[in-house]
């Protein structure tokens, strides 16, 4: 049972026998109004998580640049911008989203990613973003050429690779030499010295990002210690950087139970602050998952309960095209009935209707009794849910709603078959 007073999530049962709520709104009422599958997000928790970072870093000039790839809903971007956030983008498309949702925040945008195209660089230069996180010498050369063409001085930070191990899933670890991300930190000094001679390049900062879903503060501190050493070396060479970008990656607890988000942020901020030493410039951070993951849930309806041999399958109308994390990363998501039934929990596989054995949300999971027609909620689905969704099996993607207190707002309508077929030519 999820209780409001002990859970780090905004989803709770207000009393025994009641339906699961988000804020002051029942998820049953949301399913009746908007159908299923349905993504539901808490605006209040997203803002609360942002404020945790603001409070923990209050003693230093800083900017929280939300990682747009975690959840790129325009309404969520607007909400964060209105509360002072900047943005970390990894494509021209994500920049277009920021420009659509919060054009006034474009000067708070940093552009990451290993494969920026000339067109994307041009778009960002003309928009006036804060800085480019450059990930290779070839990219820096292209950035200089595009800046020269448009006579716009390009602020950049080298994304250095500190060779720090972060204990996380190998697909989302990015801080080792064998990964495709960043530039070997041992080569950075020479690259900065060369770039400082370029008329249309401005060495603005240094950036690091060692991975995602990291639960300990120690790897962040170790990475920033190596970055701080580089900053001091550059200072001795007459290159004074204005920013250090610590990246993102602070993880959440996807399992049941209380999660002290405030304590985690304080621990993270303290580790970075200690490692920065005498650096007096601006700190940038790029949280994504930590801000939005636990603020979201995917609501699905049970279609069938089926037994095959010793296995029991709970088949829902949501599938891996709606939430691919369990299939892709073997990720854990808590699954709870929206309105609990009396009875003993049983071990089941919770799966979708897609024609893939990999279309599952949970295997051999204890689940309270559910029957066809019941609703279930897949928790902690606010990050890398809708942004990684697809139309596999020609399935329209879900609607999304944002809840603030008792106020409900549809922020993305459910796709129609006309939407799916519109780009195609027979």
Q: In this model, does residue 165 exceed pLDDT 70?
A: no
Among candidate residues 58, 138, 355, 418, the one labeled active-site is: 355
Query: What pLDDT does 369 receive?
Result: 96
CA angle, 249 then 255 then 257, to 5°: 110
Give the C-alpha separation, 344 to 330, whole Å.
26
- Numbered ranges of CATH 3.20.20.10 in the chain: 112-287
Query: Lowest-pLDDT range, 11-15, 34-38, 159-163?
Result: 159-163
For 222-251, how does the pLDDT look when each residue is reduced to its tens digit (9 = 90+)? Answer: 999 999 999 999 999 999 999 999 999 999
Query: What does CATH list as the number for 112-287?
Result: 3.20.20.10
Catalytic residue flag (residue 22) = no
For 344-400, how does the pLDDT look when each residue is reduced to its tens digit (9 = 90+)? Answer: 999 999 999 999 999 999 999 999 999 999 999 999 999 999 999 999 999 999 999
User: Per-residue confidence at 171, pLDDT binned at 50, 70, 90?
Assistant: very low
Of the ranges 176-185, 214-223, 300-309, the best mean pLDDT one: 300-309
**Residues in contact with 190: Cβ distance below 8 Å, sequence separation at least 6, in sequence order:** none
Distances (CA, A) of 402 to 194, 254, 424: 48, 21, 31
Burial class (CB in 10 A: 0-12, 13-18, 19+), 203: buried
Q: Which of 304, 330, 332, 329 is nearest to 316 (CA)?
A: 304
**pLDDT > 70 fraction of the chain, expressed in percent and rounded:** 95
Query: What pLDDT does 201 receive?
Result: 98
- Numbered ranges of CATH 2.40.37.10 in the chain: 11-42+294-421
Q: Which of 172, 281, 149, 289 is nearest to 219 (CA)?
A: 172
Give the C-alpha separation, 210 to 213, whole Å.
10
Q: In this model, does residue 4 exceed pLDDT 50?
A: no
Q: Whole-number mean pLDDT of the chain? A: 94
Higher pLDDT, 178 or 371: 371
Q: In this model, does residue 6 exceed pLDDT 70?
A: no
Query: What pLDDT does 124 receive?
Result: 98
Q: Which of 54, 47, 25, 11 is nearest to 292 (CA)?
A: 47
Query: Lowest-pLDDT range, 23-32, 103-112, 254-263, 287-296?
Result: 254-263
Give the C-alpha separation, 160 to 182, whole Å.
5
User: Per-residue confidence at 175, pLDDT binned at 50, 70, 90?
Assistant: very low
User: Per-residue confidence at 169, pLDDT binned at 50, 70, 90?
Assistant: very low
pTM summary value: 0.94
Q: In this model, does residue 178 exceed pLDDT 60?
A: no
Give the C-alpha separation, 49 to 386, whole Å.
20
Query: What does CATH list as the number for 11-42+294-421?
Result: 2.40.37.10
């Amino acid at each position: 049972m999820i209780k409001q007073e002990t859970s780090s999530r905004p989803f709770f049962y207000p009393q025994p026998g009641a339906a699961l709520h988000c804020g002051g709104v029942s998820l049953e009422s949301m399913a009746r109004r908007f159908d299923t599958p349905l993504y539901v997000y808490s605006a209040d928790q997203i803002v609360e998580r942002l404020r945790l970072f603001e409070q923990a870093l209050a003693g230093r000039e800083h900017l929280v640049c939300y990682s747009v790839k975690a959840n790129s809903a325009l309404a969520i971007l607007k909400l964060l911008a209105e509360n002072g956030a900047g943005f970390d983008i990894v494509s021209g498309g994500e920049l277009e989203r920021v420009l659509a949702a919060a054009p006034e925040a474009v000067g708070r945008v940093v552009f990451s990613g290993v494969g920026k195209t000339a067109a994307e660089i041009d778009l960002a230069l003309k928009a006036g973003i804060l800085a480019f996180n450059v990930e290779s010498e070839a990219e820096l050369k292209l950035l200089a050429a595009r800046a020269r063409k448009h006579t716009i001085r390009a602020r950049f930070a080298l994304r250095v690779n500190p060779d720090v191990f972060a204990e996380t899933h190998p697909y989302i670890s990015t801080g080792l030499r064998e990964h495709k991300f960043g530039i070997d930190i041992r080569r950075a000094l020479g690259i900065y010295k060369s770039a400082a001679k370029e008329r249309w390049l401005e060495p603005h900062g240094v950036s690091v990002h060692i991975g995602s879903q990291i639960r300990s503060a120690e790897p962040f501190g170790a990475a920033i210690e190596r970055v701080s050493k580089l900053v001091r070396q550059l200072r001795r060479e007459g290159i004074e950087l204005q920013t250090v970008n610590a990246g993102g990656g602070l993880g959440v607890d996807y399992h049941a139970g209380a999660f002290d988000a405030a304590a985690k942020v304080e621990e993270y901020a303290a580790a970075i602050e200690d490692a920065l030493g005498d650096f007096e410039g601006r700190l940038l951070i790029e949280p994504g998952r930590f801000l939005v993951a636990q603020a979201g849930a995917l609501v699905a309806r049970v279609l069938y309960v089926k037994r095959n041999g010793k296995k029991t399958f709970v088949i829902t109308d949501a599938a891996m095209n709606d939430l691919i994390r369990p299939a892709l990363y073997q990720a854990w998501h808590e699954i709870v009935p929206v309105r609990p039934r009396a009875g003993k929990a049983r071990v089941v596989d919770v799966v979708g209707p897609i024609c893939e054995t990999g279309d599952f949300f949970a295997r051999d999971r204890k689940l309270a009794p559910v029957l066809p027609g019941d609703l279930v909620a897949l928790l902690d689905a606010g990050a890398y849910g809708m942004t990684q969704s697809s139309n596999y099996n020609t399935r329209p993607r879900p609607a999304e709603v944002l809840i603030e207190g008792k106020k409900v707002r549809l922020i993305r309508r459910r796709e129609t078959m006309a939407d799916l077929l519109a780009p195609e030519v027979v």
